[in-house]
Structure 1
Amino acid sequence: MRSPDELDQVDWAELSHAYGSAEDVPELIRGLYASEPAALDEAVYELFGTVYHQGDVYAASGPAVPFLAHAARHGAGRRVDVLLLLAMMADHEPGQVGSARWGRNPVSGVCAELCRVLPDLLPCLTDADPELRQAALRVVAAVADLLPPDLAADVTARIGELFENDPVPEVRADALLTLGAPGRPKSASDVPEVRLAAAVLAAELDGPPYPPELVETFAVEGARPPWDMPWANGRTLDNRLTRLLARDPDAALAVAARWIAAGDQGTRGTWLAERTVETWRDRELEVLDLLLAALPHQRDGISAHLRTIAHWIERLPAPNATLRDTLFAHAATDPSALLGLVRARDPRALDLLSPHSDPQLLAEAARLMPSGRLVPLIRRRLATAPDLHLIAALPALGESARAAVPELLDCLRKGTSYLAVAAARALGQLGTVGPELLDHLATAARSEDSSLRIAATVARHRLTGDAAPALAAFRELLTSSPQPRWCADELPSLGLAAAPLLPLLEPLLTARDYIRFAAADAHHRLSGSPTLATPVLADLVAPTDLGLSALRSLATTGHLPDSLRPTLRALAFSPHPLIPDDPLASTGGGHADHQLRTLALDLLAGQGS
């Protein structure tokens, strides 16, 4: 260790931390000895943002370790935080040690310094403050794999003493977890905290599926939130347990059910169920049943939990009446519940929608429950607050949506670029022809905005059959530099009239990913030949939004390259979702991963695979 008197012996100005020069580090370390609580708090806060910042360490971090160790022993306060800072600074993956870059990595300097001063920190393991003992255990665990044999033996003996005799259950459990880090788990006792720690170590050692006795321990001893002091990697025991359970969906849902039945303390059962459905396919029905059971236990508002139910309920072929009734009971006051009712396709949702409803909620209703009753609501919303989602949703409502032509014309004339483009597309799809409409489309077709020109000329073609303006707009776009970004579903709508543009598409088949996809999709649909498009589309198939679009287009070609079958089997039969699905995302349109798997299965079935 080094005392504050030695701080000036280090050339801190030549070192750096997260915000540049480390010349302020001596003053921050001296603040750890301040008698004023505010000064001490500020020193700790600043050190957590400079020599250690969001998981990274720097050139100044290693030289700071001996001084931080001294403050952990002799500082004025916040000694637990200083020990946790040392542990987090030394966090590393075992695979890093001994690699070619290890010696040049700042974390290696931190670990080397911490190993040198660790003997001076070992008295913290017997400090009167149990939290300080716990923090000291985290420091030891951070460098356990780097200790020389003699020091490792001494440390192991001291921690074994804590495990056997410490009067605080959490300290005993943490001692067991620390002993388990180098692969030396001890047998459990009759102390609940120790039983939970031992079960975590056993599960980590053996992996899933977990035996019933471990699942029972997790369900009983983990029902109340464990102590929350983080380890070197920033995770608490609760984080560690949840990550373990997420590897075994049957165990996770069994434990989540028990935790929810026991009161769902800290909403941990709910959170575990949500983590499971995000990690594993085909668990929506079980998880929604658990979330429904957990609702009465939510004390801090249920909107977020209703939002999660609303996100996953569309995946159920027929949501049960209890779930729908629960959503209905909250739908008048909670938009998330109303969204869930819409996605459950419950007709009662239509009675609760209004022109003041969220635009994306109205758009979801148009997608899932197309009804003429929505048209007046959408028209009133468009008249006061035009929205892209609502405009795009109108064509799904059929002939009744033609009543919204006046509002769409206003969006075309006065809206922003995105709104005008969406309005032009919708007008073309609704199929209503009139002089005023054609005049406004003609004006839009002269816009400097290429997207609006394309949308307007394509809409005019849909309504009148006149393809010449659209062909001219596309020809200009396809020959522009740099290579254009353009919508894949616009050009094919011209049908055979767009055949003269095929030679302009072929050079784009080797362009950047999105343009390459759009060119391949359009080429196939215009030419009727999959020869050039199929290899491009097959190459783009992947568990991404673009890959899903490529798979949809490939399905229309009727050709499945043999080389793509392993990829399709991986997409179809993965037990895990391959396209992340965020329950808090505001966009609608269904679940991309479900669509990906369904398409892959359909293609494989169609080819006899």
Structure 2
Amino acid sequence: MINDLEGIDRVDWASMGHAYGPADEVPLWLEQMASPDPGVRERAFSSFYGSAHHQGDVYSCTAASLPFLLALADDPRVPDRAAVIRLLLSIGSAALDCDPDGVYYSPSGHASTPHADVVPQMRERAEDFVRHAADPDPQVRQAAVPALGLFLDDADRAFALLRERLAAESGTVERLLVVEAAATLARRLPAALGPVTTWLATLATDPAPAADIRLAALVHRAVCTPEVIDAGLVPTATDLLQQLTPEPAPEVEADARPADCGQCTCADVAAAPAPDQGVPPQLAAVFADLDRHGRVHAPTTELLTTLHQVLDTRLPERTALLTAQLRSPDRATRYDAITMAKALIGSWRGDHSGLVRLLADCLLPQDPYTAAEAAEALGQLPAALAEPAREALAALVEAHRAAHGPTVWATPHPLLRRAHQEAVTALARLGDERALPGLLAALDTDADAWRAVQVAGYLPQAAGELLPRMSRRLAEADFSQDWPWSDACALVAALRRLGDPAAVPALTAAVTACVRHEQWRGAAAALHALARFGTGAACALEAVRPLADAEDLDLRLAAAEALWALERDPADAVPRLTDLLDTHKQQDAADVLGRIGAPAAAALPHLRQMLQAGHEWTRVHSAAAIHDIGGPAEAEAVLPVLLEAWEKNDSTAHHVLQCLQRMGPAAAPALPRIRAELALARRSGGFFKSVEDDEALQRAGRACINQLA
């Protein structure tokens, strides 16, 4: 096939670059896209997307591939022309989003001008896409239809072609794509906006088209003209959604499936594949989550996602829409709504208890696939937000145990196993002892024990049963494993959270084992855990003291912190921590000095120098430490530093608010800023914010206001 791609050998591919280096492999990938072997084709497309079109980037080699991709799309001998056209549209769409005059550079330093290099080629070949949009193969049509909205510059002709396609198509997917392409055309070409939005309004209110087409027209008209969104949009959308997903007819008792009657069907289901022994189970779970991420189960999901995007800050309307989605009799619609509910709760403040209860309603024993997703979503929420789901989680756990026995945690049924484990771990995060039997089963059988370890620390009231098991596992752990993915890492964190001093011997032994295997991060984590027990861990001093002079800075800091916590000797701890203020661990060292308080006064000159640092985080940590050491007398100096850092970097908000809370009445000048923060509808905290972080930030802000009031 490569010989048919005229001129490909005259392109200097090696002079170009992609995400991972020179582009000399690109011709081979283009050839393999035409292979009769599906596996070869899949690898070729994957390689091209992963390197020459990495994360949507358009490099010079990507643009140079266009003539050959267009030739492949035109060749009827190519087995998967639709995949080629989808790739062309992905490249073209990405180029349209680039600055027309912009110059971009690949990681290898090669320059490209995506808009100038790609968009003219796509427009010149627009007639190819017109032809593909009427191809006999529905997959080809689906891939090509969006191009009619993206690359035809004659608004009248493009709109006429799209209307023709809607009349000609009988498939739901194709018709929805036509409506979306018309909206794209309207947003791209001003001449098309009026005619297209009028047509969409007519489609949305005409009872003749199917409900999914009317819903698409309704949503895309809102996208094109958000200024005309009114109170009737969401009720109309939910009414159309109900028409698309009517209540199913009652099931005849004789036809009821055994699983619906609560009977165990595990023996009839193939077991999950055995895990790869060379891959840590936590990492395997991450990849499994990635595989699930982005799956779409209902044909309306993309439309409803678009509607949520256009509604944006209209939270009551979005909540009403999600309520209809989560109450839908259609299981696929409910499942996909879980992700949207997570997104709304994760991005916006407010009372989400109604949505949480609706997520809890998805915890049905007869639908483990949806129940697992809902339980996972609930487990990711802070306990205060997930509280309304407590009883539903407990009921699901008990239903599983009643129907499948006490070993259900380790059932070979993959869907049931995930649903049960997600429900148990979510219940444990609420501190509910009804999760304990599942956790003990995991620890005793070693079946996915790592999941139990991750949440065991939330049940301090069950330390008597959990701690001996986890201490034994820690003693038997392989400390030569890479620390972040090792069993020991999770066990140390769990024992620290559990907070029972009986864990001190096991943690002390873990420090020694980590040092023996030169696992400095592991040793530091175990030292931080020991520091949690204060003078109650003084018996570990012999293992801790030598590490306070370690070369590894993480280990040295952790040892210095532990020395202070275990023996409370500022004469020893303060000089060590002050020395660390000149290293990249300066922020953590400042925090420990702040916790020491007035006895760390010798560090104040150094901490004051850090107030001049260019990095906001350094200034925040040093200012907080100065106040905690110097007391109210330092408030006038540190308050402006804290507020300025907060203004420049909102991810510092929680740390700043905690310090303001400790400042008491001296923080009064910060009240307007605190009130402004709490008035925000969108969650704060920067790029890496979480719901839990933002909820804690709000609690700290309210505490400050109450204290100052």
Higher helix share: 2
- How far apart, CA to CA, are the structure 1 residues paired with 2:221 and 2:156? 23
1:140-167: CA deviations, max 9, x gaps? 22224xx1x4xx4333322222223434
Note closer, same or farther for the CA distance 1:291–1:531 as it changes in structure 2 (3 Å cut). same
- How far apart, CA to CA, are the structure 1 residues paired with 2:214 and 2:182? 14
SS in 2 for 1:541: helix
Residues 327 and 337 of structure 1 are in contact (CA less than 8 Å); yes or no, is this contact kept in structure 2?
A: yes
1:511-532: CA deviations, max 9, x gaps? 3444433322221111113233
- For 2:308, which of 242, 245, 251 is the aligned residue? 245
- How far apart, CA to CA, are the structure 2 residues paired with 1:98 and 1:463? 62
> 1:219-234 maps to which residues of 2 (within 5 A)?
219-221=242-244
The answer to whether 1:293 aligns with 2:361 is yes
Partner of 1:540: 645
Residues 223 and 264 of structure 1 are in contact (CA less than 8 Å); yes or no, is this contact kept in structure 2?
A: no
- How far apart, CA to CA, are the structure 1 residues paired with 2:345 and 2:489? 30
- How far apart, CA to CA, are the structure 2 residues paired with 1:5 and 1:461? 71
- For 2:610, which of 496, 504, 508 is the aligned residue? 508
Paired AA for residue 598 in structure 2: L
- How far apart, CA to CA, are the structure 1 residues paired with 2:70 and 2:235? 43
> 1:150-549 maps to which residues of 2 (within 5 A)?
152-183=155-186, 184-185=196-197, 186=199, 187-188=202-203, 189-207=208-226, 210-221=233-244, 238-245=301-308, 247=312, 248-259=317-328, 261-264=329-332, 267-282=335-350, 284-296=352-364, 298=367, 300=369, 302-312=371-381, 314-316=383-385, 319=389, 321-330=391-400, 333=409, 334-350=420-436, 353-354=439-440, 358-366=452-460, 369=461, 375-385=467-477, 387=488, 401-416=500-515, 417-418=520-521, 420-421=523-524, 424=527, 430=533, 437-445=540-548, 447-448=550-551, 466-478=569-581, 480=582, 484=586, 486-511=588-613, 512-528=615-631, 529-541=634-646, 546-549=652-655
Post-superposition shift, 1:383?
Answer: 3.6
The answer to whether 1:119 aligns with 2:182 is no
Note closer, same or farther for the CA distance 1:182–1:488 as it changes in structure 2 (3 Å cut). same
The answer to whether 1:572 aligns with 2:675 is no
Post-superposition shift, 1:563?
Answer: 7.3
Paired AA for residue 432 in structure 2: D
Paired AA for residue 540 in structure 1: A
Post-superposition shift, 1:112?
Answer: 0.5
Post-superposition shift, 1:49?
Answer: 5.3
Post-superposition shift, 1:592?
Answer: 0.7
Post-superposition shift, 1:110?
Answer: 1.5
Residues 495 and 529 of structure 2 are in contact (CA less than 8 Å); yes or no, is this contact kept in structure 1?
A: yes
Once the two structures are overlaid, the 10-residue window that deviates more, 25-34 or 210-219, is 25-34
Residues 454 and 494 of structure 2 are in contact (CA less than 8 Å); yes or no, is this contact kept in structure 1?
A: no
- How far apart, CA to CA, are the structure 1 residues paired with 2:462 and 2:220? 53
SS in 2 for 1:216: helix
Post-superposition shift, 1:376?
Answer: 4.0
Paired AA for residue 91 in structure 1: S
- How far apart, CA to CA, are the structure 1 residues paired with 2:9 and 2:421? 62
> 1:61-76 maps to which residues of 2 (within 5 A)?
61-76=62-77
Partner of 1:233: none
Paired AA for residue 554 in structure 1: L
1:473-496: CA deviations, max 9, x gaps? 234334x46774534442234343
Residues 284 and 312 of structure 1 are in contact (CA less than 8 Å); yes or no, is this contact kept in structure 2?
A: no
Paired AA for residue 496 in structure 1: A
The answer to whether 1:594 aligns with 2:663 is no
SS in 2 for 1:364: coil
Unaligned runs of 5+ in 2: 105-110, 187-195, 248-298, 410-419, 478-486
Unaligned runs of 5+ in 1: 225-235
Note closer, same or farther for the CA distance 1:580–1:395 as it changes in structure 2 (3 Å cut). same
Post-superposition shift, 1:17?
Answer: 5.5
User: Which TM-score applies when normalising by structure 2?
Assistant: 0.69
SS in 1 for 2:7: helix
- How far apart, CA to CA, are the structure 2 residues paired with 1:435 and 1:118? 76
Task: State the number of aligned residues.
Answer: 579
Partner of 2:660: 554
Residues 433 and 462 of structure 2 are in contact (CA less than 8 Å); yes or no, is this contact kept in structure 1?
A: no
> 1:54-93 maps to which residues of 2 (within 5 A)?
54-77=55-78, 78-92=80-94
SS in 2 for 1:282: coil
SS in 1 for 2:459: helix
Residues 608 and 622 of structure 2 are in contact (CA less than 8 Å); yes or no, is this contact kept in structure 1?
A: yes
- How far apart, CA to CA, are the structure 2 residues paired with 1:550 and 1:327? 41
User: Which TM-score applies when normalising by structure 1?
Assistant: 0.79
Paired AA for residue 321 in structure 1: E
Post-superposition shift, 1:76?
Answer: 0.7
Aligned-residue CA RMSD (Å): 4.2
Paired AA for residue 365 in structure 1: L
1:309-342: CA deviations, max 9, x gaps? 2222612456553343224545862443222222
